[in-house]
Amino acid sequence: MDLLTIIQILDSTVRLATPLLLACLAGLFSERAGVIDIGLEGKMLVAAFFSAAVAAATGSVWLGLAAGVTASVTFALIHGLASITFRGDQLISGVAINFLASGMTVLIAQDWFSQGGRTPSLTGGARFSEISLPGATALREGYRETIADGVEPSGVSAIYWDLISGHTLLVYVAIAMVPVSWYVLFRTRFGLRLRAVGENPGAVDTAGVSVVRLRYAAVVIAGVLCGLAGAYLATGLAAGFVKDMTAGRGFIALAALIFAKWRPWYALFACLLFGLLEAVGNRFQSIDILGIGIPTQFMQALPYILTVVILAGFVGRAIPPRAGGEPYVKER
Amino acid sequence: MSDDATTPAIELVGISKSFGPVQANKDISMRVMPGTIHGIIGENGAGKSTLMSILYGFYKADAGQVMIRGKTAEIPDSQAAIAAGIGMVFQHFKLVENFTVLENIVLGAEEGAWLRPSLAKARKLLSRLSEDYELHVDPDARIEDLGVGMQQRVEILKALYRQADILILDEPTGVLTPAEADHLFRILEGLRREGKTIILITHKLREIMDITDTVSVMRRGEMTATVATASTDPSRLAEMMVGREVLLRVEKTPAVPRDVVLEIEGLRVVDEKKVERLRGIDLTLRAGEILGIAGVAGNGQSELLQVLGGMRAAEGRVTLNGRDLPLEGPRAGARFRRQAGIAHVPEDRHREGLILDFHAWENVAFGYHDDPAYARGLLMDNDALRRDMQAKIEKFDVRPADCWLSAKNFSGGNQQKIVIARELERNPDLLLVGQPTRGVDIGAIEFIHQQIVALRDAGKAVLLVSVELDEILSLSDRIAVMFDGRIMGERHPSETDERELGLLMAGITDTDADPTLDEIEANLDLTGQRTP
């Protein structure tokens, strides 16, 4: 395996990790505030659909993005209404959101576009285009010329022009969200209160701060981040919406969240690991290890296998926020 | 604080509050003068906590008025209470366990959107408050690493940080050792000297007598009296609380111990987190005696009861009437312990003693569901259960006397009576009883104590675990003190006192020396105790 192959795998790792990372940070905000969010999947899915649909209709990826985020936040508010205001079961509300999203997107897609539950393929301004960082093009040209000259290049420059440069805007946004989330959670008043409300809402309430308002804020942030994740899936990573295109990424993000022990930086590495497995699965459709052929299906199942391993608790004890999943009821 | 010492710091006028059909507070009026410690005493469910919750903005009164320093105050939420200078220390601390002391103190009272300047400012103010009121805590310690006494100081500091000059403490000594409670009272006296007004809610008569200036008595939602503490005495207060004369002392004859019933040798328990909870316990218990286990909650007493009750595996040797009890494996279960003649009144009746959503008569079967008397062929004989429960209800004076009521609808004392009726009526050789009167009103305490003594007098052995030192001292024939999974010593109730037991409870065996409070605190913190 040469350096260029490795860089290409890492490049695809970053792309595939992006939606996971955004969804994982969404879950992080929600769960740190004590609202379990199993509906990441559903929120991503509605965002993917509405961003693709609006982008297809208007030709503007930005309008699409706005529509996707709006749809996701709407779903987040439904979850908030059920689990914060009406103190319903957060798991059930999340599952309902997933079902609603899965059915609704295909139904509306068929009604609007009549293409078997998908949106038309997006082209041009309806998709996020790749951003070329300064100097990247020149470096790539240089690389190509070296090959043309018949010399084998080292490929080190590809780290810049392939791995670091050349992603869509949302990839950079997702990565920037990691330090931003960390800062918000651990260096601001809002973050202190948010973490406190997920650990002991009684402490926040008696300190004179509204538990309900804080939890809604967290749920809306989760909605926005899931919206970005969904929009990226349909208008960045792919070129349009297809049925159930999130393919369990919301659940993988939840697994990554547990793996990351509800911390932003760990979340980055957990999501990159999942992204790597997916990238490896895509790249090596079939490989031989010691003469035994590993089937493609196994390679593609890798991220899901890791999910099960993590959820089964093989990675050490992860202590979730203590008040997670519990609706807050005032008590004496 | 008002300059005018004749204006009450707090005045309540005609406060009423109902929850559905239950009237928790009926037309309550009360005035508390500034710079005094005012006690509110009453049984569980008398409405003390409801009243204070109204004052702190948790509930809205149906009728009535709150006046603070002579001015009518609207307190719709905690924010308003804090703004009015009211601070509250709840019975169950409202602290974020994995935050530091400093973070807990600034939470909700931050200076601005960024944390760093708020924390720096809080640190300065905190060190001044600590000096002023002898409230020393490490601002960078995590709450979960602190003992309960320290956690309580954090709660008090939280209120002071918010510039409270009226401080309400709800049952503050329930989780403290006697030494810690003494220190708390010294702090409260210091606060009173500084002109703060303190409201102390408690059900312990002794605390009222020791520290308050005035005391209000509550019974069934009404405030029955407000008197100067100096003009009253404990038995008069108890009478006002219960509405009839009560015996504060347990009446019992000296024990006549007979054959050894229970023998424990080298009992060890390692819990799920690999922490050693029992570190080699040796105890002997004879028929006809009550052995009291004293200790601060969390020092292994619960584990000891669980092992003996068949709810937890252990290593070591336990014999009952000379026969070995299996400590591990299927035959170590609770059912086999009951068959062997051990009855168990667990510490936490809500979690281990009853199923709250079940009817009273269903609860009578637990642990004895395979009794042939309750069976009709392969089926349960529900009629037999109901007859049995109704008989027990009458014998143990459970109120209301209705076996169809769900367990949760009985008061704490009556729930406990249901558990005690179930366990005592089996005529066990050994009764394990944990916190028999926790959350039980004075009237029922008297009855429950009488039942336990009666069982002893019938020649049975009783192992009593309680965090209430008064209860241990008055009920036990012999006292063993537990600290950090070990027995620190055994004493005879007539030859010891609260001070000595308190030191043993803090792990200090050299009870002749007079250790400083910080030494005691340090010792307690070593064990990493937490609120149960």
Closest by Cβ to A332, choosing from B58, B97, B98: B58
What is the spatial distance between Cα A31 and Cα A39, in angstroms, rounded to a whole number? Answer: 12
Among the ranges given (A26-40, A275-289, B210-224), the one the predictor scored with the smallest mean pLDDT:
A275-289
Region A257-265 average pLDDT: 93
Strand partners, B132: none
Cβ contact B108–A193 (<8 Å):
yes
Residue B420 belongs to a domain? no
| Same domain membership, residue B306 and residue B166 | no
For residue B413, being part of any structural domain is answered with no
Main-chain dihedrals φ then ψ at residue A176, nearest 5 degrees? -65, -25
The pLDDT of residue A271 is above 90:
yes
Q: Which residue ranges make up each domain of chain A?
A: 3-128+136-311
Chain-chain contact of B115 with A207 (C-beta, under 8 angstroms): no
Give the pLDDT band (50/70/90) at residue B1.
very low
Among residues B192, B207, B242, the one where a domain terminates is: B242
Residues B215 and B306 in one domain: no
Structure tokens at B157: 């500091």
Question: Cα separation of A20 and A277, whole Å?
Answer: 13
pLDDT digits (tens, 9 = 90+) for A105-140: 999 999 999 998 899 999 888 999 888 888 888 888
Q: Are residues B309 and B446 in the same domain?
A: yes
CA-based nearest distance A186→chain B, Å: 8
Q: Distance between CA atoms of B342 and B310, rounded to whole angstroms?
A: 10
Question: At CA A198, angle to CA A265 and CA A22, rounded to 5?
Answer: 35
Rounded distance between C-alpha atoms, residue B277 and residue A117, angstroms: 60
**What tens digit of pLDDT does each residue of A23-40 get?**
999 999 999 999 999 999
Confidence band (pLDDT; 50, 70, 90) for B462? very high
- B483 closest CA partner among B526, B452, B424, B448: B526
B133 touching chain A per CB within 8 A = no
Q: Which domain holds residue B36?
A: 10-242
**In Å, how far is B71's CA from the nearest CA of chain A?**
21
Asked whether A209 and A202 are in contact (CB, 8 A), the reply is no
Nearest CB to B95 within list A203, A205, A330: A203
CA distance B469 to B456: 20
Q: Give the pLDDT score at A315.
A: 66
Residues B167 and B191 sit within 8 Å (Cβ to Cβ) = yes
Q: Which of B107, B170, B273 to mutate to test the interface with A (most CBs of A within 10 A)?
A: B107
A256 vs A274: CA distance, rounded Å:
8
| Whether residue B432 sits in one domain with residue B327 | yes
For residue A304, what pLDDT is reported? 85
Asked if residue B407 belongs to a domain, the reply is no
Q: Do residues B36 and B5 make contact, with C-beta atoms less than 8 angstroms apart?
A: no
Neighbours of B14 (CB within 10 A): 13
Token pair belonging to B288: 């006809």
More confident residue, B365 or A54: A54
Which of A206, A262, A329 should we substitute to test contact with B (largest number of B Cβ atoms within 10 Å)? A206
Question: The domain spanning residue B62 has which CATH number?
Answer: 3.40.50.300
pLDDT tens digits for B31-88? 999 999 999 998 777 888 889 989 998 888 999 999 999 999 889 888 999 999 999 9
User: Closest approach of chain A CAs to the CA of B372, in angstroms?
Assistant: 41
Same domain, B238 and B284: no
Q: What is the 3-state secondary structure (H, E, C) of chain A?
A: CCHHHHHHHHHHHHHHHHHHHHHHHHHHHHHHCCCCCCCHHHHHHHHHHHHHHHHHHHCCHHHHHHHHHHHHHHHHHHHHHHHHHCCCCHHHHHHHHHHHHHHHHHHHHHHHHCCCCCCCCCCHHHCCCEECCCCHHHHHHHHHHHHHCCCCCCCCCHHHHHHHCCEEHHHHHHHHHHHHHHHHHHHEHHHHHHHHHHHCHHHHHHCCCCHHHHHHHHHHHHHHHHHHHHHHHHHHHCCCCCCCCCCCHHHHHHHHHHHCCCCHHHHHHHHHHHHHHHHHHHHCCCEEECCEEECHHHHHHHHHHHHHHHHCCCCCCCCCCCCCCCCCCCCC
pLDDT band (50, 70, 90) for residue B220: confident
Tens digits of residue pLDDT in B407-451: 888 877 888 999 999 998 888 999 999 999 887 777 788 889 999
pLDDT at A332: 45
Cβ atoms < 10 Å from Cβ of A112: 14
Q: Which of B242, B272, B299 is the last residue of a domain?
A: B242
Q: From the CB of residue A248, how many other CB atoms can be counted at a distance below 10 Å? A: 14
Please tell me which of the candidates A188, A200, A208 has its beta carbon nearest to residue B96: A200
Is B289 part of a structural domain of the chain?
yes
Determine how many CB atoms are found less than 10 A away from the CB of residue A134.
Answer: 7
Residue B59 lies in a domain: yes
| Binary contact (B108, A207; C-beta < 8 A) | yes
Predicted local distance difference test score (pLDDT) of residue B528:
42
Look at residue A245 in the predicted model and tell me its pLDDT: 94
Residues 142-171 of B with CB under 8 A from A: 158
Look at residues B212, B242, B272 and tell me which one is the last residue of a structural domain: B242
pLDDT tens, position by position, B483-493: 989 999 999 99
Is position B282 within any domain? yes
Same domain, B69 and B213: yes
Chain B residue nearest residue A187, CA to CA: B115
Distance, CA of A231 to CA of A186 (rounded, Å): 28
Residue of B nearest to A329 (CA): B58
CB within 8 Å: A193 and B97: no
Task: Give per-residue pLDDT as tens, B150-164.
Answer: 899 999 999 999 999
Among chain B residues, the shortest Cα distance to A188 is held by: B114
Specify whether B279 is located in the same domain as B211.
no
Handedness of CA B428, B433, B439, B445 (dihedral sign): positive
What is this structure's pTM? Answer: 0.80
CA distances from B170 to A294, B56, B160, B167, B529 (A): 66, 12, 16, 10, 21
Helix, coil or strand: residue B210: helix
Residue B122: HSE in the Cβ half-sphere, 13 Å Cα cutoff: 28
**pLDDT at residue A185 tops 70:** yes
pLDDT of residue A197 exceeding 60, the answer is yes
For chain B, say whether A205 makes contact (Cβ under 8 Å). yes
Q: Does A317 touch chain B (CB under 8 A)?
A: no
Domains in chain B, number: 2
Statement: residue B531 has pLDDT above 50 = no
- Tell me: the pLDDT tens digits for B230-288? 999 888 888 888 777 776 677 888 888 999 999 999 999 998 878 899 999 999 999 99
| Structural domain includes residue B248 | no
Residues B27 and B114 in one domain: yes
**β-pair type (B222-228, B214-219):** antiparallel
Cβ–Cβ < 8 Å for A37, A25: no
Contacts of A199 in chain B (CB under 8 A): 96-99
Intra-chain end-to-end CA distance of chain B, in Å: 37
The fraction of chain B above a pLDDT of 70, given in percent, is 94
- Lowest average pLDDT, out of A245-254, B171-180, B322-331, goes to B171-180
CATH code, residues A3-128+136-311: 1.10.3470
Closest chain B residue to A191, measured at CA = B115
Which of B50, B78, B107 lies nearest to residue A192, judging by beta carbons?
Answer: B107
Same domain as B184, residue B329: no
* CB contact A209 to B (< 8 Å): yes
Q: Find the largest Cα–Cα distance for chain B.
A: 79
Question: How many CB atoms are closer than 10 A to CB B360?
Answer: 28
If asked whether residues B238 and B319 sit together in one domain, one would say: no
B231: DSSP letter: G
Nearest to B58 among A190, A192, A330 (CB): A330
- What's the per-residue H, E or C state across B103-159? HHHHCCCCCCCEHHHHHHHHHHHHHHHHHHHCCCCCCCCEHHHCCHHHHHHHHHHHH
Tokens for B197, please give them.
């007004």
ipTM of the assembly?
Answer: 0.88
Same domain, B41 and B115: yes
The residue to which tokens 């403290």 are assigned: B176
In a domain? residue B91: yes
For chain A, the maximum distance between any two Cα atoms, rounded to a whole number of angstroms, is 80
SS3 category, B529 = coil
